[in-house]
């Protein structure tokens, strides 16, 4: 059997949630396939770009056609991704598309990963250029004509049934695994007297030396970033939050404020750094088909506030707090609560700028710092010079408070190891104990799915998802023989 993967969204110079999901999924699919199944990952372009994993690169076929010429030929139906590939590798049986794109004529049965249908739900969320693009790639037709669809959420599946009249048995909801994981500490060095920098093997360091919350989608109306801006603006009027900043991923937009930092063209490594050092992640989107950024923030230990638009209430990690995307005061209240109970911000005029409370969630715990006092039903509030007091443990110092990001992270990781913190699902086990349980039964994957190299990862979500897609591609291939 021979299959084609459209690898154009997987090239190394592309970044974003769709790309990260595609890379993880296609890597697992290729990595576990037996030699009797040949998978070719196809890209186009004037220059050949490396794909993002060694596994993908081993299966890489590049068509040296400039993308603009390819798109024009595909639009006029002169080009065909499937025919061009078969001329080079021989007969193929099925295709997997990780996303919609310019494919030209599709001459083989194909499956498509459906991320969302926001372009149909509210076209005004998209620029005129993007609306033209969706029309040019024949997005609706590509979805309707797929032999089988894989949906990232039940909400997206129901949208496809409702808006495009797709039969329910042609859509499978698949689990989405982690794309980022919390790195372990490698070494610590002090940067100045007030803050420390956490360094990791890949230069995972604190990007800014002031407290900030993170949001994304600047310039994208669907992401509703104006609400994130107004939320932080409101908090900055309070004394304890006047040093709070907002980091926005995306192109600079109005308003231009000294406390708003725009980050453009952020690669995955930088994004992990921005997530990992944020006090909170704000996600006030009007609609999402899945909400991958919430899972990435969760994986890196960052608390999140989200809207409930689209699939978010269905798919968000269990630790996520929700707020109405149309009501500013809900977001202000939630962010004040979240920061006050996790990372108390000390204003510049405070006696010590670096006093930051650790993230602790335990029914019998107490957290205190010069600017915040949080109590629980079974706790005793300690003075500003003591740090944590609980029924099971006491961490104290006569004249000091926990003052660095390093110590806060260490306490957080120690608490997780000992089970005193509950922050939601563990990475890689999202679906182990959920409503969907798919093991590695031979009756699902058959003898074509490699069982020998997966002993350490057999329960990972990506392996589970790859197995589901593998089985469907196998069924389709048998029908074409």
Give the pLDDT score at 364.
Answer: 33
Average pLDDT over the chain, rounded to whole? 74
Distance (Å, whole) CA 348 – CA 208: 15
- Assign domain 2-177+429-480 to its CATH architecture: 3-Layer(aba) Sandwich (3.40)
State the average pLDDT over residues 261-277.
88
Domain locations along the chain: 2-177+429-480, 187-340
Residue 215 and residue 225 in contact, taking contact as beta carbons nearer than 8 Å: yes
Of 10-19, 293-302, 314-323, 377-386, the range with the lowest mean pLDDT is 377-386
Give the pLDDT score at 33.
Answer: 84
Q: Which of 92-101, 385-394, 405-414, 438-447 has the highest mean pLDDT?
A: 92-101
Give the pLDDT score at 481.
Answer: 65
Give the pLDDT score at 13.
Answer: 65
Give the pLDDT score at 286.
Answer: 96
Q: Which of 20-24, 264-268, 350-354, 363-367 has the highest mean pLDDT?
A: 20-24
Give the pLDDT score at 39.
Answer: 93
Whether the model pTM is above 0.75: no
Look at residue 453 and tell me whether its pLDDT is greater than 60: no
Cα end-to-end span (Å), the chain: 9
pLDDT tens per residue across span 68-88: 999 999 988 888 999 999 999
Fold type of domain 187-340? Rossmann fold (3.40.50)
pLDDT tens per residue across span 22-58: 999 999 999 888 788 999 999 999 888 888 888 888 8
Distance (Å, whole) CA 158 – CA 160: 5
Same fold across 2-177+429-480 and 187-340: yes
pLDDT tens per residue across span 214-256: 999 888 899 999 999 999 999 999 999 999 999 999 888 877 8
Look at residue 391 and tell me whether its pLDDT is greater than 70: no
């Amino acid at each position: 059997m021979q299959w084609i993967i459209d690898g154009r969204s997987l090239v190394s110079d592309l970044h974003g949630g769709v790309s990260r999901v595609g890379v993880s999924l296609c890597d697992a699919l290729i990595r576990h396939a037996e030699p009797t199944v040949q998978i070719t990952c196809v890209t186009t372009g004037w220059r050949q770009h490396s794909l993002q994993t060694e596994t993908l690169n081993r299966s890489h076929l590049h068509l040296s056609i400039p993308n603009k010429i390819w798109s024009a030929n595909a639009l006029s139906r002169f080009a065909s991704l499937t025919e061009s590939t078969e001329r080079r590798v021989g007969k193929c049986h099925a295709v997997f598309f990780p996303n919609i794109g310019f494919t030209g004529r599709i001459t083989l049965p194909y499956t498509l990963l459906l991320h969302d249908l926001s372009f149909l739900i509210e076209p005004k969320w998209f620029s005129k250029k993007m609306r033209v693009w969706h029309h040019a790639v024949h997005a609706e037709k590509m979805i309707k004509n797929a032999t089988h669809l894989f949906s990232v959420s039940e909400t997206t599946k129901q949208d496809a049934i409702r808006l495009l009249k797709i039969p329910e048995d042609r859509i499978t909801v698949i689990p989405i695994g982690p794309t980022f994981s919390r790195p372990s500490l490698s070494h610590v060095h002090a940067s100045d007297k007030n803050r420390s920098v956490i360094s990791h093997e890949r230069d995972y360091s604190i990007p800014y030396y002031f407290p900030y919350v993170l949001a994304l989608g600047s310039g994208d109306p669907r992401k509703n970033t104006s609400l994130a801006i107004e939320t932080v603006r409101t908090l900055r009027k309070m004394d304890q939050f006047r040093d709070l900043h907002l980091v926005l991923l995306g192109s600079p937009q109005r308003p231009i404020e000294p406390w708003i930092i725009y980050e453009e063209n952020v690669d995955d490594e930088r994004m992990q750094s921005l997530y990992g050092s944020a006090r909170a992640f704000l996600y006030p989107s009007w609609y999402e088909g899945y909400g991958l950024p919430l899972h990435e923030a969760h994986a890196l230990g960052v608390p999140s506030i989200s809207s409930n638009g689209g699939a978010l209430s269905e798919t968000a990690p269990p630790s996520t707090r929700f707020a109405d995307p149309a009501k500013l005061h809900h977001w202000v209240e939630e962010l004040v609560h979240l920061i006050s109970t996790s990372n108390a911000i000390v204003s510049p005029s405070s006696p010590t700028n670096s006093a930051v409370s650790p993230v602790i969630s335990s029914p019998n715990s107490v957290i205190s710092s010069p600017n915040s006092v949080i109590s629980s039903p079974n706790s005793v509030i300690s003075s500003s010079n003591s740090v944590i007091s609980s029924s099971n443990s006491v961490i104290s110092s006569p004249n000091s408070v926990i003052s660095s990001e390093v110590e806060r992270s260490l306490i957080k990781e120690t608490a997780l190891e000992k089970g005193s913190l509950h922050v939601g699902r563990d990475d890689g086990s999202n679906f182990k104990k959920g409503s969907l349980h798919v093991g590695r039964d031979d009756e699902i994957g058959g003898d074509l799915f490699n069982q020998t190299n997966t002993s350490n990862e057999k329960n990972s979500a990506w392996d589970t998802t790859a197995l589901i897609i593998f089985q469907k591609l196998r069924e389709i291939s048998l029908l074409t023989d």
